[in-house]
Chains A and B, each alone.
Chain A
C-alpha cells in the first residue's frame, strides 16, 4: 500500500519510540487505560467508588478491589485524568490521524468497515465484522488485563519502608506526618 514505510525504516522508528518513552518516563502501556476510562465513567455515576485516603500510598482508596490495588494507584489516575499514561493513549489517536492526513497509507471507505482480507471471505456487509470486532475486543482486553500484572513487589516494598519509617518516628514521639492516622498505618503494614 502506498505511503507505508518499509520494515527497516519502520523497525528503527518503533525501536526509537520505545526507547524514548523509557528514557523520558516509562515503557508504553495501553490496555491499563481502558480500566482508567471505565473508572472515570463509573466514578461519575457513583457516590462512593473512590474516596480520598491520605494513608494510602496514592492518597486514594476504592471500594473496587482492582482500583484499590497497589496503594490505589489506578484510583489516583481515575481522579486525575490529565496524567501521563491516559494522555499518552489519547494522543496516539491524534498521531495516527496526522499520519493518515500527511501521506500515510489511506484506508478506503470499505477498509474503514472491514479489512480487505475479511471482505474477500465474508463480503462487504459491516454487521458481522462489527460483532466479531466487539466480541474479539472483549476477549482480547480481558486477556490483556488477566496477563497485565497483579502485584508490584518492588512498589510495595518501597511503600512499606516509607510507612515503617513514619511509624518509627511516631513511636519515638518525634514529629511525624501521620500521628492522627497512626492506627491506620499500623493496619497497613500488618502490625495490628
Chain B
C-alpha cells in the first residue's frame, strides 16, 4: 500500500515540478538572477498554503504528528546551505528538479545526478571523520522548534503560544510576498 502511495505521490510531485517549469534550469537560473520571479511566486505560495494547512491540520488532530520529525540544528546545516547556494544557480538544478529533468530528457541533468551520486558516496566516506567535529555540533540544543508542536518531546524557543500561530503568520507573509512580487516580463 505504501509503495502504491509512493508511486502516486512521487509521480504527482514530478508532474507538478515539470508543469510549473521547475525542471527547466533556465527558469531556476533566471529566478536566482531575479530576472523572472514566476517560479519564486509559485514556490513561496506553495510553502504558504502547505504551512497554513499543515499546522491547522495538526491543531485539529487531522494530521498525525508522528509523520513529522524536527531536524537537528547544527553548524553543518549552515555550511551545507552555503555549498547548495553556490551550486544551485550554477547548475539550475536541485535534487528534486534534477530528477524531474531526467523525465524531460535533459542530458545536463544526467551529469548533475551523476555528480550528486559521487557526492553522496564521498559524504558516506567522510561521515566517520565528521562525527564529533565542530561541524556537527548542535545549535540551541539541536531539535528545537520556534513554538510548541503537538509532539511535546521537542522543546520550543517561545513557549506559551500554540504552533499554528507563528505558522499562520509565516503563511500570510509568504502569501503576500508571492502575490506582490512581479511576475514574468512579457
Please list the residues of chain A having a beta carbon within 8 angstroms of any beta carbon in chain B. 1, 3-8, 10-28, 30-31, 34-35, 37-39, 42, 64-67, 69, 82-100, 104-105, 107, 111-118, 126, 129-155, 157
Could you tell me if A147 and B46 are in contact, using CB atoms closer than 8 angstroms? no
Q: Tell me whether chain A's interface is mostly helix, strand or loop, or mixed.
A: helix
Could you tell me if B38 and A6 are in contact, using CB atoms closer than 8 angstroms? yes
Q: Which chain B residue lies CB-closest to A135?
A: B115
Could you tell me if A137 and B25 are in contact, using CB atoms closer than 8 angstroms? no
CB distance from B167 to the nearest CB of A (A): 13
Query: 6 extra interchain contacts, Cβ-Cβ under 8 A, other than A10-B46, A140-B112?
Result: A11-B44, A12-B49, A92-B14, A95-B15, A96-B15, A140-B119
5 CB-based A-B contacts, threshold 8 Å: A7-B20, A115-B92, A118-B25, A118-B92, A134-B112
Name the one of A5, A14, A82, A105 contacting B50, with C-beta atoms under 8 angstroms. Answer: A14
Known A-B contacts A133-B93, A147-B81; the reply to A12 vs B3 at CB < 8 A is no
| A69 to B131 CA separation, bound complex (whole angstroms) | 11
Could you tell me if B83 and A143 are in contact, using CB atoms closer than 8 angstroms? yes
B window 107-135: CB within 8 A of A: 107-109, 111-125, 127-128, 130-131, 135
| A101 to B164 CA separation, bound complex (whole angstroms) | 40
Q: Which chain A residue lies CB-closest to B40?
A: A7
Name the one of B21, B39, B83, B103 contacting A93, with C-beta atoms under 8 angstroms. Answer: B103
Judge whether B53 is part of the interface by a CB distance below 8 angstroms: yes
| A89 to B102 CA separation, bound complex (whole angstroms) | 11
| A104 to B155 CA separation, bound complex (whole angstroms) | 44
For A130, the chain B residues whose CB sits under 8 A away are 107-108, 111
Could you tell me if A144 and B183 are in contact, using CB atoms closer than 8 angstroms? no
Known A-B contacts A24-B5, A98-B11, A143-B84; the reply to A149 vs B71 at CB < 8 A is yes
For B108, the chain A residues whose CB sits under 8 A away are 112-115, 126, 129-130, 133
Could you tell me if B107 and A141 are in contact, using CB atoms closer than 8 angstroms? no
Name the one of B19, B45, B72, B99 contacting A99, with C-beta atoms under 8 angstroms. Answer: B19
For B72, the chain A residues whose CB sits under 8 A away are 149-153
CB distance from A89 to the nearest CB of B (A): 6
Could you tell me if A107 and B14 are in contact, using CB atoms closer than 8 angstroms? no
Could you tell me if A134 and B115 are in contact, using CB atoms closer than 8 angstroms? yes
CB distance from B126 to the nearest CB of A (A): 8
Could you tell me if A7 and B93 are in contact, using CB atoms closer than 8 angstroms? no
Q: Which chain B residue lies CB-closest to A35?
A: B120
Q: Which chain A residue lies CB-closest to B9?
A: A21
Could you tell me if A99 and B43 are in contact, using CB atoms closer than 8 angstroms? no
Could you tell me if B84 and A144 are in contact, using CB atoms closer than 8 angstroms? yes
For B98, the chain A residues whose CB sits under 8 A away are 137
Judge whether B150 is part of the interface by a CB distance below 8 angstroms: no
Could you tell me if B50 and A19 are in contact, using CB atoms closer than 8 angstroms? yes
Could you tell me if A118 and B29 are in contact, using CB atoms closer than 8 angstroms? yes
| A118 to B107 CA separation, bound complex (whole angstroms) | 14
| A124 to B61 CA separation, bound complex (whole angstroms) | 54
Could you tell me if A82 and B86 are in contact, using CB atoms closer than 8 angstroms? no
CB distance from A114 to the nearest CB of B (A): 6
